[in-house]
């Protein structure tokens, strides 16, 4: 258990509204990731972070931004939610001395109506 | 272009038999491969991994085989148990310092083990 929590766990929002999802870890790991999971698409990387204030884009970053002002928190923001962003969002951390195997949070189910 | 492919969306096996899940990759630079297991309404959990310098890694009932020339890996579960029913994701990674530990995931294979 890598001590990863996500909040909220479920959210329903309307198209055009901003949404922020929070990932919190308790073990001060350097690397953190945000994924989305959709049927038939597996896990797709949205953004990742390699340290405080150090972030970069993943393969599906359009419409998303992230921030990491503290080691333990990694925030994902949808500036103006669209129905195509309805998905399950997972946060993860990786541990370098374990071959970068990743440990995932429980997920946030987001519905954009 | 999808770099990691799991061509079988689903697999059904009888309890006690062997389950074989397959994964293909296109990027020959990948040097570390992982399998994750996911139950409904939970996050994926790490299962087993293998470095590109090896061709086999075993952990209890789970064995991963790597065939670098074919760019293919497989996960064997023997014997299969009903509790193994889950979605299995294959992932590939580059271990270099500049990669920030990123992995590329396949689309997953749903395994059903029938009692």
Domain range annotation of chain B: 4-114
pLDDT of residue B5 exceeding 80: yes
pLDDT the model gives residue B95: 77
Q: CATH second-level architecture of B4-114? A: Sandwich (2.60)
**What percent of chain A shows pLDDT beyond 70?**
98
Provide, as residue numbers in chain B, all residues whose Cβ is less than 8 Å from the Cβ of A4: 43
Query: Which residues span the domain enclosing A79?
Result: 4-108
Number of domains in chain A: 1
For residue A42, give the nearest of B95, B101, B107 by CB distance.
Answer: B107
A30 is a domain residue? yes
A78 is a domain residue? yes
**What percent of chain B shows pLDDT beyond 70?**
98
Q: For position A19, which CATH number holds?
A: 2.60.40.10
Provide, as residue numbers in chain B, all residues whose Cβ is less than 8 Å from the Cβ of A43: 44, 89, 105
pLDDT of residue A95 exceeding 90: no
Please tell me the number of Cα atoms within 13 Å of B92 on its side-chain side.
23
Calculate ∠ Cα A73-A74-A79, nearest 5°: 130
pLDDT the model gives residue B97: 63
Q: How far B111 CA sits from the closest chain A CA (Å)? A: 15
pLDDT the model gives residue B88: 98
Q: Which residues pair with A36 in a beta bridge?
A: A44, A89
- Is residue B82 classed as helix, strand or coil in its secondary structure? helix
**What percent of chain B shows pLDDT beyond 90?**
88
Average pLDDT over residues B75-103: 90
pLDDT the model gives residue A2: 66
Mean pLDDT score of chain B:
94
Average pLDDT over residues B25-38: 94
Average pLDDT over residues A83-112: 92
CB B20 within 8 A of CB B8: no
pLDDT the model gives residue B89: 97
Please tell me the number of Cα atoms within 13 Å of A108 on its side-chain side.
30
C-beta atoms of B101 and A96 within 8 A: yes
Provide, as residue numbers in chain B, all residues whose Cβ is less than 8 Å from the Cβ of A90: 43-44
Question: How far are the Cα atoms of A42, A100, B15, B40, B113 from residue A106, in angstroms, in the given order?
Answer: 16, 19, 28, 10, 24
A113 is a domain residue? no
Average pLDDT over residues B67-90: 97
Interface test with chain A among B102, B106, B109, B110, by most A beta carbons within 10 Å: B102
CA distance B51 to B33: 6
List strands edge to edge, sheet with A19-25: A4-7, A19-25, A73-78, A64-70
pLDDT the model gives residue A19: 97
For residue B100, give the nearest of A42, A43, A48 by CB distance.
Answer: A48
C-beta atoms of B43 and A100 within 8 A: no
pLDDT in tens, A23-77: 999 988 999 999 999 987 889 999 999 999 999 999 999 999 999 999 999 999 9
Q: Which residue is listed with tokens 């599906």?
A: A60
C-beta atoms of A94 and B41 within 8 A: no
User: How many contacts does A have with B, using Cβ atoms within 8 A?
Assistant: 64
């Amino acid at each position: 258990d890598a001590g990863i929590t996500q909040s909220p766990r479920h959210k329903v929002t309307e198209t055009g509204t901003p949404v922020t999802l929070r990932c919190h870890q308790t073990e001060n790991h350097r690397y953190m990731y945000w994924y989305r999971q959709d049927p038939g698409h597996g896990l797709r990387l949205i953004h990742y972070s390699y340290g405080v204030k150090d972030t970069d884009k993943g393969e599906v970053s359009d419409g998303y931004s992230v921030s990491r002002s503290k080691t333990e928190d990694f925030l994902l923001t949808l500036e103006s939610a669209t129905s195509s962003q309805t998905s399950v969002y997972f946060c993860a951390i990786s541990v370098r001395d374990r071959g970068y195997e990743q440990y995932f949070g429980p997920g946030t189910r987001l519905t954009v109506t | 272009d999808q770099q990691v492919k799991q061509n079988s969306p689903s697999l059904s096996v009888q309890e006690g038999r062997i389950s074989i899940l397959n994964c293909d990759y296109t990027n020959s630079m990948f040097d570390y491969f992982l399998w994750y297991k996911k139950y409904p309404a939970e996050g994926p959990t790490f299962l087993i991994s293998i470095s590109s310098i090896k061709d086999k890694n075993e952990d209890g009932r789970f064995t991963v085989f790597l065939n670098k020339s074919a760019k293919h890996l497989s996960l064997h579960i023997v014997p299969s148990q009903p509790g193994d029913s889950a979605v299995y994701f294959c992932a590939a990674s580059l271990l270099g310092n500049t990669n920030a530990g990123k992995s590329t995931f396949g689309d997953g294979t749903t395994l059903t083990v029938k009692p």
